[in-house]
Structure 1
Amino acid sequence: MSDPLFNNGSPMMDLIANYSDLKDASVFITGGGSGIGASLTEGFLMQGAKVAFVQRSDASAFADEMAEKHGNRPHYMQCDITDLDRLKACIDEGAERHGGLNVLVNNAANDKRHNTLEVDEDFFDWAVAINLKAYFFACKAAVPLLRQAGGGAIVNFSSISYMIGAAGMPIYTSSNAGITSMSHTMAREFGPDNIRVNALAPGWVMTQKQRDLWVTPENLAEHLDRQCLQEELVPEDIVGGTLFLASNASRMMTGQCMVIDGGVVVPA
């Protein structure tokens, strides 16, 4: 089954705008079978898009659920995104199955907590491989396919964690700063190909994983107090912004970082 927090039939999903250009668009999502990624997969399916996604854990039941619910089955491929050859092969397979590629969403990440003085080289390499290196090479694999389609959109998931100096995960925050910077640079590099590259930085989204591993009543209350909108963020809250960045509604928006965090990060 999908993420237990994922609210099937959520009125929040029903209120999301429809983007006509996403109908029949070919979309590839990393980590698209759980947490925020599951919401993204369903959001694109509801637009009529053709979705291929990778997930390290078995997401067959989620794909079955989506097929039954929407009559539009996402193409699930098992993949550890640190296996770069496998990741590229999956991107190519999704494009071949769906007639090219129009949108790449780099979503998969791992925010395992760690302290600087306890990190060894193996952990550092592992964390960067998941949280930055895989993003770069997914973009590299996607760009030729997006060029063949005459352009398209890349949405790279970052995080507000580096913007607020979140403690307890320095490699993760560094990687997310890198993702935002990488998106800025790639937007400049591939703009002539009509490829838009934007970052999306969520706040603390209450997936089941976050609740199981990191959330306590105390730290949640403290974080909500920092938000202007003092409600918990849930995966569905991130879908609308992602669809907007993927669609032609944002056709002249590139090299930007969209923040969806309930108002923690407020520009001066």
Structure 2
Amino acid sequence: MSVIVQPHNIPIRMDAVNSAPQLELKVCHIHTLFSCSTRIPNEPNTTPSPSQSPAVPFPLLSLPPELLHQIVANYYALLPPLTITKSNHQLPHHALTPLALSSPHLLSILPPSLYYAHATFLFSSPSLLKPFADGFNRVEQVRKIKIWYGALGPLGPGTGTASTARGQEEGCTGDGEEKGNGRQDWVFSFLEAFRGLEEVTFVVELGMSKGFCERSRHVRVMEGWWECVRDAVREGWGASASASAQGKAKGRVLVMRVECEGFEGFWVDRICA
């Protein structure tokens, strides 16, 4: 490219001969400046993929086994009672808790017995006790159960039935063997099903009204029913083959409770073998 410098103070005649040089401008499209073979490299992806992400250890796994078991046992004990039905009594419930599902490795190092010994299981039918106990050695491991007994009938103790809406939803139809649903069925069934029981809670409906006389009558029915249940457990626990097998029942204490829906308060008894 040549540069012409004009002297100062010399006029320049602009004619056809001395015309200003014509500049030819060429506009290049920007996309023609880059060849297809010379692409601008993309920014490197600094976000690691899931397979490359560093594994964060589950916090509880760093604890000593004794402390880990104690924490998990307290967690199991605070869980709400698990309702056992015809559709779920064979499931591995120890592997289905939120804690177990959060860490497969944690599940692999915790014994199933830790769950069954500290969780509480709710039954609405005596016929569900034995099938549930037969799986995962629960016959030896279960310590706490709740029994949905239903309403106490007007005829007196032992006439309660679980043929309520709640009982029907949980697998109890109120027909056949469930129709009686008396203390004999329940006591015999749970003593036969579980050898390691430490606590049994009955949940009953009283339908308490506001009238004093009516409330007093319901309380008398409740007291009479509870006395029958308590006596049946005392007799059955000492005589049942499962409870007395190899002397395992000797010196043990079974805590019996009753919770009353519609009535503030509960009964508690401790029965010694």
Q: Which of structures 1 and 2 has the larger relative contact order (alpha carbons within 8 angstroms, sep 6+)?
A: 1
Query: TM above 0.5, one fold?
Result: no
> Which of the pair is proportionally richer in helix?
1
TM-score (norm 1): 0.37
Larger Rg: 2
